[in-house]
Amino acid sequence: MYPLFLFCLAVILGLVQFLLLHKPLFSSFLLAFIVCNIGLQGIYAFMGHFFRSDETARNIGWPTGNLFQKEIAFTNLSLGVIGIMSIWFRGNFWLATIIARSVFLWGCSYIHFMDLKRNKNVQVFNAGPVLYFDFFFPFILIGFYILQLIYG
């Protein structure tokens, strides 16, 4: 599952920045999470929703052939772009990026939960790790943002 892979990559990159480049601890991890789990993950999700729309829809448990998949692709692409841009833009740009991603993920988790509850949709991209990641990851981002404000 790619969100978990990208999360592990972010942890490794955060450790490299902190241990080898001697960057501040929380800023190192926060930047790595933003670049990997907002930037790269957004671009990867764009590719799935845009180029493999029907397969992605089936994995979510949704109808195929709907142009809404292309719309959600561009939502993911926009988040991916601002995640990557966070390499060069800091401060309030990081905060705006975190807020945008958090609102999106919490919205996704709500929809996935409702689909699970109402329709018993247990497809791989609707329930389980995806649902948990969508709900809990914003708390990690917000927590690290606050910690980097306090400790650097």
Say whether pLDDT at 27 is over 90.
Answer: yes
Structure confidence by residue, pLDDT tens digits, 31-66: 999 999 999 999 999 999 999 999 999 999 999 999
Residues 6+ apart with CB under 8 A from 17: 23, 28, 31, 32
List the domain range (segments joined by +) for residue 64.
2-151
pLDDT tens-place string over residues 57-98: 999 999 999 999 999 999 999 999 999 999 999 999 999 999
**Count of the separate structural domains present in the chain:** 1
- If one counts every other C-beta atom within 10 angstroms of the C-beta of residue 107, the result is 12
DSSP run (H or E) holding 147: helix 129-151
